[in-house]
Amino acid sequence: MNRISVIILAIIGTTIAAVTPAEAQICFGLGKFRIEQSDDRFSADGLTTVSGKNNRISKKSVNGGTHIGCDGMFVEPVAIKRQADGSIVGLSFYVHNDAFDDTAFGSTSIGTLRRIAFVTGEGQPISLPITDGGTRWGRITYNSASRSASSQVFETGIAELTPEQFRRIINATLLAVRIEGNGRTVTYEARDISKSFIPNLRTFYAAHLTQGAGQ
């Protein structure tokens, strides 16, 4: 398992531990986008990892409604850099669908994540396979009134890309995004995409990818 996978799995573990179904029900909005850096005090490989958090693609639900809480589809930038000169060793998106499954009200799950594709308005689509796909379930809760059961579902994976592909995405003139799972596919047209989605990626690029981005 490479360092990207190890870091992402650590993020996944933190996310699942921090968010339970009960907590998700009282969440009335995402926090602001932020960038976090790994604690490298005990690492001897000379590398550091920076990752974004809270970069949701859209408020549009997989089922066609609108997210009012903290769930949804997220595409978080992750970069592994050399501490000595800041050059890029690895670049990826941590893609995660924070979904739910309810026996009475349906599901926003799309299954194991397989591929993410970007149409930028110029050139060919950027199609990235999603690897290390996994699904984890939260605690099951029961509703005696509706006689239903529900649980949060965390669908996660890693899509590696090049700095040039990252630049094309943040400079897109008309961005559309499609994410394929083994259960279904969801497409976000330009009108669906959050106004903060591309600016968040640009912030990450300016802060951490400008130096050594071409290496």
Residue 213 covered by a domain: no
Residue 45 covered by a domain: yes
Residue 91 covered by a domain: yes
Token pair in block for residue 140: 């099951």
Contacting residues for 46 by C-beta, under 8 A, at least 6 apart: 82, 83, 84
Residue 215 covered by a domain: no
Q: What is the tally of structural domains in the chain?
A: 1
Contacting residues for 104 by C-beta, under 8 A, at least 6 apart: 143, 146, 147, 148, 150
Residue 23 covered by a domain: yes
What is the DSSP-derived secondary structure letter of residue 23?
Answer: H
Enclosing domain of residue 186: 3-208
pLDDT at res. 86: 87
pLDDT at res. 7: 59
Residue 100 covered by a domain: yes
Parts of the chain with a pLDDT under 50: 12, 14-25, 213-215
Query: Model pTM?
Result: 0.82
**Residue 204 backbone class (left: φ over 0; alpha: ψ -120 to 50; beta: rest):** alpha
Find the length of the chain. Answer: 215
